[in-house]
Amino acid sequence: MSWPVNVKEVKKLQMEISNYCNARCPACARETSILNPDKQNYIGVNNKYVSFDKFKEWMDNGNFWWSLRLIDFCGNYDEPTTNPDLLDIIEWIFTSGKFSCMLQVNIATNGGTRNKEFWKELGKLSSKYRYATLTNLGRLNVIWGIDGLEDTNHIYRRNVEWNKLQENFRTYIAAGGRASWQFIYFKHNEHQDELARQRSIDEGFERIKFRGTKRKEQQVVQPVKGKHELDLQGTTEKVVCKACHRPEYHGLDTGLYTTVQGTVLPCCWWGTESQLSTLEKTYSYKYDKDDNNLNSGKSFQEILDSPWFSNLHKKIQAEKFDKCIHHCKENIISTINNQIHYPKT
């Protein structure tokens, strides 16, 4: 049994294009790497980004992105805006002719990097490519991870200075940039959700997304699973892989994930050093980081056709990997609450 998705069918490509970051968020995989640099399979941080030329090489190389609708710059170790070639990469995506005119690019950021000139240029790009796609947002959107307000955001988003963050999102939005506010619930900020919702409207964000649940809500529904998932129907371990075709799924299924090192994986949950180490120990087909790597000269499709990927789908069902059970059980639903304001035209 081969991997059930080929490149022509991929709708979502999540990409890690840097392993630099300005923040020190406690639950981030980066913190484990920073604190344990002598571990086996150590990936490392703050030493690599995907250059403009390398990005083009990866995406060209015989690949046909006929169904691709979203490139999501959001990795396990990166702050995407630290990539010095990001603006050039985005411009190439929209002008190369390799992708559908419906393709959307999302960038996840903590908002505390770069300078006003960068954010102004990014806002101009977002304004330039405004054509609405699958959502009521434009083709280039920035998702700002702001978990609270002036007095709380820094508690989790450590090293992100509020005044700089505020200057950056105001500069980006003023230049025509389309922006979403992502708010993760914590004990220290849950009382500010309505204030954040109103602030997002006042500042010109097009929507706010709340991830997770408030503590009082957790007393009514089942306990939270991970950051933004609820288990509503017991303990079944049947896996419905979100990286594959799911006709009943209202969203972008059939996806792939790439790390900054060029490793291709089904999803981001497998993209940390600890998870790759676990896979090497549990999955009977040993993972070859060089063989399953875009830097080896192989195309995405050649990697999907490799023995490792070809046998993976049935192994996910048979061997019941912990990550797959935790995030893709058939009874897991998302608790992301999107509140859309008034889209720009």
The dihedral through the CA atoms of 242, 291, 298, 307 has a sign that is: negative
Nearest to 5 by CA among 70, 96, 68: 68
pLDDT grade for 42, boundaries at 50, 70 and 90: low
What percentage of the chain has pLDDT greater than the value 90? 52
Nearest to 256 by CA among 270, 337, 151, 264: 264
Q: Reply yes or no on whether the pLDDT at 112 is more than 80.
A: yes
Q: What is the pLDDT of residue 37?
A: 58
The whole-number average pLDDT for the span 321-326 is 77
pLDDT digits (tens, 9 = 90+) for 13-33: 999 999 999 999 998 988 877
Q: Reply yes or no on whether the pLDDT at 342 is more than 50.
A: no
DSSP string, 17-47: -B---S---TTSHHHHHHH-TTSTT---SSS
* In 146-218, beta strands by DSSP E: 178-184, 207-211
Q: Among the listed ranges 202-206, 213-217, 256-260, 340-344, which one has the minimum average pLDDT value? A: 340-344
Average pLDDT, the chain: 83
The whole-number average pLDDT for the span 216-234 is 43
Higher pLDDT, 194 or 281: 194
Q: Give the CA distances from residue 78 to residues 83, 139, 145, 247, in Å, rounded to whole numbers and listed in that order.
A: 9, 22, 13, 31
Q: Reply yes or no on whether the pLDDT at 173 is more than 60.
A: yes
pLDDT digits (tens, 9 = 90+) for 274-286: 777 777 676 656 6
Q: What is the pLDDT of residue 140?
A: 96
| Contact status, residue 267 vs residue 242, Cβ threshold 8 Å | yes
Q: Reply yes or no on whether the pLDDT at 177 is more than 60.
A: yes
The whole-number average pLDDT for the span 236-256 is 72
What percentage of the chain has pLDDT greater than the value 70? 78
C-alpha to C-alpha distance for 113 and 123, rounded to whole angstroms: 15
The whole-number average pLDDT for the span 83-93 is 98
pLDDT grade for 234, boundaries at 50, 70 and 90: low
Q: Among the listed ranges 70-74, 113-117, 317-321, which one has the minimum average pLDDT value? A: 317-321
pLDDT digits (tens, 9 = 90+) for 292-303: 789 999 999 999
Q: What is the pLDDT of residue 343?
A: 43
